[in-house]
Each structure stands twice: as structure tokens, then as C-alpha cells.
Amino acid sequence: MVAGRIDGVCVRGIVGCVPEGRETVDDLARRFGEDAARKVAAATGIEERRIVAPGQCTSDLAEAAARRLLDGLGWDPASLDLLVLVTQTHDQVLPGTASLLHRRLGLRKGAAVLDITHGCSGFIYGLWTAAGLLRAAGRRALLLVGDTTSRLVDPDDRAVAPLFGDGAAAVALEQDEFAAPIAFDLGSDGAGAPYLAAESGAMRHPGRPARLFMDGTQVFAFTLREVPGSVRAALDAAGWTMESVDHLVLHQANAQMIRHLGQKLGAPAGRTVVALREVGNTSSASIPLALAGALAPSLNTASRRLLLSGFGVGWSWGSAALVVGPLALCETVVLPGRKCPAETAAPASPTS
């Protein structure tokens, strides 16, 4: 387990991006039956998911979020020293998706880029990595997280098909000597690898598509076993109490599990964020999408103490306690359907 604090790095803005394609409970009912679809929605809190169009890639969502964020902040892409991308669904085997976005976003030659292959804990790992590298050298960094998990899901698998949606987010980080420290706790346990996995069709079974497998019972047990301790460790590293936290934002996988964890952690009523009803489980993007959606009005106008925790595939988990806001920009945009690859993202529009 890794715990500690990073000083002097501030979040300046957050933009989420979701595709315009949707799959609703009514769509699932036509495939699995009305009763089955409604039971899943009631159990998980997920009533629809956003799904990328044929040919769209993770980079398209990330690029649209990044462009809107840079434009909104008035940041020249050439002013970025670092780009960190977190995804499990890369555009291609190589080169890394961060290198593709370096060119498409117009970053300066010599800016550092880094791909991290992480899922549900990926936003915390990406924040830790980007903040640490920025603190060591540089002034501005862009953290991009996103997954197109729908590509890994068997549409006829009722255990996972109703759960996973696609999305991405961009977070702007900047050195600031007056910024409050960011406290982290991170850990992993490779014993959990078999319980949430998608074997690569290209590697082990040429010609066979990669399909996502999830043992929900094992996932739930792991979450209850590891997450509370990680959250409390981040609180301790920050010197905070749960009562002093304005918002608890957990990985948005299942509404019942989120509420159960909030109660277990002693979060005051109304401070645990549940924001997956219209997007589903968006893997690495779930926490920043919740920030850019449910908390945008709050973060755009005031400073807030946030306690974040991501957990899942690996097993892997990470928690962070940080002060965010008021932000120059915090919103979500929608990427229209189109083909990929392309040199630039289609214009993204704000969500309604």
C-alpha cells in the first residue's frame, strides 16, 4: 500500500465527454425481457448507458474533452509539459494512445506523454502519476481518462451488457505553491485478476474477439474488504475527518454498493454522490464524469473538500483527498457519432 501527499499541484478544470449514442432499459427489455431489464436497473441504478458509434475510439472522446477544456481555460496546447492518458481500451496495440493525442491536440515537440493501462481505479492512479511528475518537473499537465468498454461486452451477456457505458474526461493540472496538498492511498492485489477480465483475442486466441467477464460476487466482496481502509488512509494522510468532507465520490459501478459504502464509511447524509443513472459504469472515467456532471454547479462556484476512491479490475484501488474549486470550467460535452480515425475531433456540444 502506498500512502502520502503531493504538494503544490492544483486542479484548474474538468471536462467530461460522452458519446451521443444511448442504450436504455427499453432497449435491453427487447433483448432480455421486460422483467429482467427492470430488475437490473432497480438493482444497479443504471437506466441507460452511452455507447460509441461504430468506428469511434477512446481517443475521440478524450480529444473532444481535452479540446473543450483547453479552449475554456485559454491554454495553448504548446504550454503543456505532460500528457497522461489512462485507458484499458487503447485505439490500437501500438503506438500508445497518448502519442496519437499528442499529435492531434498539437502539443509541443518534447512534451512528455505516458499511457497507463488501468480501469476502475485509473483516475486516482492517473492523478497521482500526473501530479507527482508535474511536481518534479513542469508547470502544466493534462490528465485524460476514458474507456469504450462497450466494445468488450457481449451484447447477449445479461450479467455485464446492462452495466458498462463509454465515456472520457480531461483534467487540467497546474503547479501552484499555494495549493492544498493532495493525499493519496493506493494498492493492488493481483489475486483478483481472474474475476474481472477480458482476454485479448489478438494475443491468446487470434480471430476471437476479447469479451469481458465479471464475477460480481467477488467484485462486491473485494470492494467491501479493501475500499473502506483505503478511504480512511487517505483521510488520515490529509488530516481530515469524514464529517469535514463536502463530497464523497466513489467509482460509479452500482448505486446500491455506493450507498452501502457511504454508510459504512460514515459519510454524512447527502454527501455521497450517485451519478451513474444515465451513463452506466464508465470505468476509469466514472469519477471525473461524476465531478463534471453532478458536482459541476458546486465546483464552478466554490472550493470543496473531495474524497475520491476508485476500485476494481486487478484487483486495484486508490483513494485521494483533495480540495477542488472554484474551477474555471467544469462541464460535460457530447461527441456526435462519426467515423475514426480522424485528425481532429468533431465539434462537441454541451450536455443538456
Residues with a catalytic annotation lie at 120, 251, 281
State the cell numbers at 31. 433483448
Which helix (H) or strand (E) element contains residue 19?
strand 9-19
Cβ–Cβ under 8 Å, residues 131 and 6: yes
Q: How far, CA to CA in Å, does 117 sit from each of 72, 281, 299, 330?
A: 28, 17, 28, 25
Cβ–Cβ under 8 Å, residues 279 and 191: no
Backbone φ, ψ for residue 340 (5° rounding): -135, 150
Backbone φ, ψ for residue 50 (5° rounding): -95, 135
Amino acid (1-letter code) at residue 209: P
Cβ–Cβ under 8 Å, residues 201 and 319: no
Q: What is the DSSP letter of 208?
A: S
